[in-house]
Structure 1
Amino acid sequence: MTPHCSVLCYVSGLCWLAALPALSPRSSMSENAMGSTMVEERFHYGARAAAYSAEFSAQRDRRRVRAGGEWGGGMPVQWLQRSMWALGLEVHTQRFARTLPFPDESRERYAVRGTNVYGILRAPRAARTEALVLSAPCSAPPHNAHAVGLLLALAAYCREQIYWAKDLIFLVNEHDLLGMEAWLEGYHDGNRSGTQWWGSMGRAGAIQAAVAVELSGAVLTSVDVAPEGLNGQLPNMDLLGLFHACCHKGGLLCTIQGKLQRPEAGSVHGLQTLLLMGLQQAAGRAGGDHALFLRYRIEAVTVRGINSFRQHKHDLNAMGRLLEGMLRKLNNLLERLHQSYFFYLLPSLTRFVSIGLYMPPFGLLLCVLIIRAVDLWLQLQHSDAAPTQRMGGGDGAPRGAEDPPVGLLSLLPPVLVSHGAGLALYSLPVVGHRITPDPPVGLLSLLPPVLVSHGAGLALYSLPVVGHRVAALLAPQDPPVGLLSLLPPVLVSHGAGLALYSLPVVGHRVAALHFPVAEAEAVVLSMMAIYVAGMALPHSAHRWVWGGYGVLWGC
């Protein structure tokens, strides 16, 4: 009966997941302040944005020549300051430095230095207690130069308007996420990452929302939105509805996960988009610079202008009107976005799957493990006679072998040992990281932790049997059963925890030259190996312990 129930739950969960796009309702705008589309966007500074981007690229190339031809000269800070001052903004700069535990992806270096430049447009018609952020990351050439030009052109356009009720912050951050993290920590006067920063931080009101802009060129065919933050965190769904409404109004093709919108609800295309979004959240990686805003309870998205081989071409004016429309709608907010969903999956920008709809199929898939565990427990309850037959069963059987501890209580030692091993493998690297000055680096350095964690699992799997065999040779009348038998697995698990940190440190000088890996990926890979070992060990250890008893007594 158990295999049939397991198969039924598994198939039902998969069918439910496949039917999610067809079951998804249409999305709507929950915030009434952003629902009106009667406002006409009039941004027409596309040529000015192109001129700004060309001048920005020229200034940056000039700094690269002075720096020896490498991307180490940074962005043209003085030129950005002069440009923002000329537009009438309140200009501030922030210099920052960060020592990385791993080398960055572009160059294998540990120390990163940079400068953030931002200008504040004060609200002329309000108390200046709230603010909106429009940011453009200063990436390595030739990327995102047009986004910086468009940001400056938008600042010039917004400076001429009088309807702003919130302060507008135009931010150009260096080194992508590192610069954004330094700016957010400086703005909120905190330091949770160890980043050092200098300079007088100019502040506006409390940030209500943020939009990060990335452009691949002066011509775009579609606009993609990236909502995923760190560890799968998502912004309020009304922000995505606002993006879709502004794109639809301006005639722009909008995509999510690189997929265009299709009218049919239950299509395979919608399932692909939904699964891609789920995988992106499961990876835990940031979808853009907006991800760090979500950690401060600030709703934010990254908007990317894509230039592909599609027929419909748009210039910077269309992108500027899209951003203008989003800023004007956010300018009408009377409170933070809170009415719509924060946990959802999107088969398209017009439909959504809430957490109450996509969690039941995952529960059905997890029921397979619960049913299997209950079945094993019931088998242990009805196998009282089997251990006696395996251990001799006659009058000559040793005392204590007739009634071994069977049942739920007998699973307690393996569960405690496996979870203790997981705790040791989790905590000891952190403790060793504080003691040892050189952290592990590189993808190659992950090989020892994976081998060690699997070796620890193998040791916890086999040591009870080996220990009882040795104990039978030394004292066959009194095998060491109980707390003393847990000593070898505990020692092995703690030794594995020490090796999990020390072995990568030993070889990190060689590993740093090849395959740099992000810190989050290293932690995820190590924890996956630990979790798999901890999930499999309790049942395996219990099976082999009692199998070892049978070997001891000559069965």
Structure 2
Amino acid sequence: MAENEPLIKPKPRPIIRIGLFLISHSPLFSVVCCTAGILALFLLPVLAKNTYVSENALLPGSASPMLSHDDASEGHRFMNKILNLDSDTNSGIEIPELVADHMIELGGEVNYHKFQPASNKFHPLHFFLAPDAGKIQENYSCSSYGVNTVGIIRAPRGDGKEAIVIVTPYNSVNISMGEALSLGVAYSVFSVLSRVSWLAKDIIWVAADSKHGEYAAVSAWLRDYHTLSFGDMKEICGESTLPTGKMTQVTGEVISNGFRRAGTMAAALVIKVADSSSEFEKDVLNIYAEASNGQMPNLDLINVFNYLAVHGQGLQVRVEKIWSLLDSWWLNSLGELLELLGKVAKSLNPQWKFGIPVADYVEGTATLASSLYNQALGVPTGPHGAFRDYQVDAITMEISPKFSSNQRIMFLLRVGRLVEGAIRSVNNLLEKFHQSFFLYLLTSPSRFVSVGVYMIAFALLIAPLPLVAASLFSNASKSNSGKDKISFKHSLPSESVLTFASWKWLFAAKTVIIVHLWSAVVTLLPFSLYQIPNSSPSIKLFIWIVLSAVSLLFIYAVSGSFSFSRTSEPQETEWARLKSVTIAATFIGLCLMSVINFATAEIGALLLVPMCLTVVPLRLDVKVNTTRALLRGACNVLLVFMSFPPTIFLVLKCSLYGFDNIRFSDFWNWAESLWTWNSATYIYVCMIHLPCWILCIHTLLHRC
């Protein structure tokens, strides 16, 4: 090779060339990906699949129900005893004792579980932990404790290592007709299961005293079931004030003081009966499955109940939906467009099954939006959520009956057979639920969208973020490197100039880190605000806002982040580096949140990604002074305004409940509900969404 022959640089690898191409065309790539991500969300009802039972061992409906008309009649008599007991104050017997007596008559092992409600005070160290429902409040009257009545049937074919739980919440102070009916259903099923020979798992019936809340009663019992500490109520209240150890007035037997346990819980079912409804033509079964931080039970459990209710007992199964979307004109128009596209696709190729009827699309979208919202909120939709904290698959089934007073026995028969069939299916399992999906969104009781489908929309939404961040940083470095060399060439060697330019992103990173540290302070402020006595939610919210704003101004002033002019860095590239680091931090935060609660990350990406990608300093648009630039500035202001967390909350509440129910303290109450349930959505709003919003405002107001 000749000495003067130039060296040929090797070509970069194809993956690197693709990356460089996407970075150089990041604006076009961002528009395509964001548009495709939003369209993918609206196509999810079309892409939903029919549910199916994955675990063959479940065999729903393969056996004839054993619950007879006589069992339903016994349950009806038991229900009447409870209602008469509640109205008769001179009987000397309370509802827990009556339930315990009948459990013992059926051959069950019975014990009382005593608890007091948990304190709802905010504590920053309690996040990602189950609500401490067993913690006794200070200065709480011992006469107001709750008493759960627990009965256990030992399986004749089991070894005591597995159990199925039935929960019936009721208010022991003022029991309703629906709660009495749910107790009657559980008694009928408990009576049948105490006589069958096929039972391989123990049955636990928990009559949960819900005068302090349904979730608190169930969570307190679960906490003691899975731990060795049973609370300090005996020591605090004294043994004489508790019903445990007392001889029952009906059977004359003594209930043990010990906490009785069965095996590992295979599944749990919460039975609730709502008031009679004339809205539907037949009895309606409402299924609630969402637990804390978006956790869902195995889809097979929902499939079993849906199959048995529809094909076995002729019930109408429903899941929660956002009713206001059903009358939305734009959603109906989109459904008509998709239906038309489906017809065109089918005419081109009969095997292309694309598109669904308008009514199915609208209802599926309303149900999908409700499922996404409830999972993103991170708050359980029923007492079944307490079981998911211990990785037990559970749902709440709420039946809305439509019958007259003389048809209660038939209602008990139908619902009792449904519960019996579901328990028989779970009893067939040799292992825990694992075959079907744990990450899914429901579009109807019989259709679902798996995580492999709905994660595509999230991936498309966040895909432009790292590319735009790299593009901004690269352009800022290129445009600024020459100016740095000219201004410093007489004082610094060339190597120092290159090193100094390559580390300029640290100025922007300092601002981003400071804002995120401030967000941690905002997250912890409610802990101090709760120490203020006799303060209303409006006052707490006002103090929270004022302290947050003052602390932000103080931190900015101390750190010098308000100083936009630097001798070492021109202002026209400073905002680009700041936006680049902001986008990178937002991308990392959304990815981390998707691991904890995918639905929260999905909604967060919808709100944050457009704002992060489009925001530029307003002064740039004013300097250009064209219609396009002014429109861009107006859109940026609108996006920043609409992405403010209180604004999002108010808009969402107005769309769901109307403008008449809006109050200033609603945002505080909403935030309080999030930290009470230890929802990770509170952490997301305060430590990911809010810092990104502040940094976008910083970029928007940057002086160029």
Task: Provide the TM-score with structure 2 as the length reference.
Answer: 0.60
Q: Distance in 1 between matches of 2:686 and 2:365?
A: 29
Q: Of 509, 527, 545, which aligns to 1:412?
A: 509
Given residue 57 of structure 2, which amino acid in structure 1 is its aligned partner?
A
Which of 386, 391, 411 is equivalent to 1:315? 411
Q: 1:434-449 counterparts in 2 under 5 A?
A: 442=537, 444-449=539-544
What is the deviation of 1:280?
A: 0.8
Given candidates 99, 109, 113, the residue that maps to 1:94 is: 113
Quick check: 2:75–2:184 contact (8 Å CA) kept in 1? yes
Q: How far is 1:519 from its partner?
A: 4.4
Secondary structure of the structure 2 residue equivalent to 1:154: helix
- Cα offset for 1:48? 2.8
* Separation (CA, whole Å) in 2 of partners of 1:441 and 1:178: 24
State the Cα distance separating 1:336 from its structure 2 match: 0.8
Deviates more, 1:182-191 or 1:118-127: 182-191
SS at match of 1:144: helix
Secondary structure in 1 matching 2:219: helix
Within the candidate set 319, 336, 340, 1:256 is matched to 319
2:219 corresponding residue in structure 1: 181
1:170 to 194, 198, 205: 205
Matches within 5 A, 1:391-430: 407-426=504-523
Which of 274, 283, 302 is residue 240 of structure 1 equivalent to? 302
Q: 1:467 to 1:537 in 2, by over 3 A?
A: closer
SS of aligned partner of 1:267: helix
State the one-letter code of the partner of 2:194. R
SS at match of 1:116: strand
Q: How does 1:16-55 map to 2 (within 5 A)?
A: 16-43=40-67, 44=69, 45-55=71-81
Question: Which of 425, 432, 457 is the matching residue for 1:361?
Answer: 457
Please give the secondary structure, in 1, of the residue aligned with 2:429. coil
1:535 and 2:631 aligned: no
Contact kept? 1:224, 1:255, Cα under 8 Å = yes
Structure 2 letter corresponding to 1:150: V
Counterpart residue identity of residue 520, structure 1:
L
Partner Cα distance (1:137, 1:540) in 2: 49
Say whether 1:141 aligns with 2:162: no
> Do structure 1's residue 276 and structure 2's residue 370 form an aligned pair?
yes
**TM-superposed deviation, 1:238:** 0.8
Identity of matched residues, % = 25
- Paired with 1:527 and 1:87, the residues of 2 have a C-alpha distance of 50
Change (3 A) 1:235 1:190: farther
CA distance in 2, matches of 1:539, 1:404: 24
Q: Which amino acid aligns with 1:203?
A: R
Q: Is 2:383 the counterpart of 1:289?
A: yes
The one-letter code sitting in structure 2 at the alignment partner of 1:173 is A
Q: Which has the higher helix share?
A: 2
Partner Cα distance (2:52, 2:380) in 1? 26
Measure, in 1, the Cα distance between the counterparts of 2:504 and 2:513: 16
Give the conservation status (yes or no) of the 8 Å contact 1:270–1:347: yes
CA distance in 1, matches of 2:367, 2:189: 32
Query: Per-residue deviation at 1:102?
Result: 4.9
Choose 200-209 or 34-43, whichever is displaced more: 34-43
Task: Label 1:150 to 1:441 Cα distance change in 2 as closer, same or farther (>3 A).
Answer: farther
Mapped contact 1:125–1:165 kept (Cα < 8 A): yes
Aligned partner letter, 1:346: L
Structure 2 residue aligned with 1:222: 284
Q: How does 1:461-540 map to 2 (within 5 A)?
A: 468=563, 518-520=672-674, 524=681, 528-538=685-695
Tell me, yes or no, if the aligned pair for 2:169 and 2:207 is still in contact at 8 Å. yes
RMSD between aligned residues: 4.3
Provide the residue aligned with 2:156 in structure 1. Answer: 124
Single out whichever of 351-360 and 520-529 deviates more from structure 2: 520-529
Name the CA distance, whole Å, in 1 between partners of 2:370 and 2:397.
18
Counterpart residue number, 1:81:
100
- Asked whether the 8 Å contact 1:92–1:200 carries over to 2, the reply is yes
Measure the CA separation in 2 of the matches of 1:350 and 1:467. Answer: 55
1:457: Cα distance to partner? 4.1
Provide the C-alpha distance between the structure 2 equivalents of 1:197 and 1:186, rounded to a whole number of angstroms: 13
Other structure's SS at 1:40 match: coil
1:116 & 1:437 partners in 2: Cα distance? 34
Kindly provide the amino acid, as one letter, of the partner of residue 273 in structure 2.
Answer: L
TM-score, normalisation: structure 1: 0.75
Name the structure 2 match of 1:334: 430
Number of the residue aligned with 1:478 = none
- Compare 220-229 and 250-259 and name the one that shifted more: 250-259
Measured after TM superposition, the shift of residue 539 of structure 1 is 5.9
Which residue of the partner structure matches residue 448 of structure 2? 352
Change in CA separation of 1:466 and 1:215 when aligned onto 2, cut-off 3 Å:
closer
The Cα offsets for residues 382-437 of structure 1, whole Å up to 9 and x where unpaired, read as 4428988xxx99x9xxxxxxx9887433322112212222334445766x699x69
What is the alpha-carbon distance in structure 2 between the residues aligned to residue 527 and residue 166 of structure 1?
41
3-state DSSP of counterpart to 1:285 = coil
Asked if 1 retains the 8 angstrom alpha-carbon contact of 2:51 and 2:448, the reply is yes
Contact 2:320 2:367 in 1 (8 A): yes
User: How far apart are residue 207 of structure 1 and its match?
Assistant: 1.4
- State the secondary structure of the residue aligned to 1:173: strand
Provide the C-alpha distance between the structure 1 equivalents of 2:322 and 2:541, rounded to a whole number of angstroms. 34
Q: CA deviation at 1:235?
A: 0.7
Which residue of structure 1 aligns with residue 266 of structure 2?
208
Contact 1:218–1:316 (CA under 8 A) maintained in structure 2: no
Describe the SS at the equivalent of 1:286: coil
The 8 Å contact of residues 66 and 192 in structure 2, kept in 1 or not, is answered as no
Q: 1:316 to 1:227 in 2, by over 3 A?
A: same
Task: Return 437-446 or 230-239, whichever deviates more.
Answer: 437-446
The 8 Å contact of residues 289 and 395 in structure 2, kept in 1 or not, is answered as yes
Q: What's 1:15 paired with?
A: 39
Counterpart of 1:452, as a letter, is: L
The answer to whether the 8 A contact 1:212-1:290 is kept is: yes
Q: 2: CA distance between counterparts of 1:3 and 1:359? A: 23
**Alpha-carbon offset, residue 14 of structure 1:** 1.3
Higher strand share: 1
The alpha-carbon deviation at position 526 of structure 1 amounts to 7.5
User: Unpaired runs of 5+ in structure 2?
Assistant: 1-24, 123-130, 132-136, 235-256, 324-354, 491-499, 568-664
C-alpha distance in structure 1 between counterparts of 2:700 and 2:477, whole Å: 14
SS at match of 1:211: strand
Structure 1: how far apart are the matches of 2:562 and 2:166?
64
Residue 83 of structure 2: aligned partner: 57
Equivalent position to 1:376, from 467, 472, 485: 472
What is the correspondence of 1:536-555 to structure 2 with a 5 Å cutoff? 536-538=693-695, 547=703
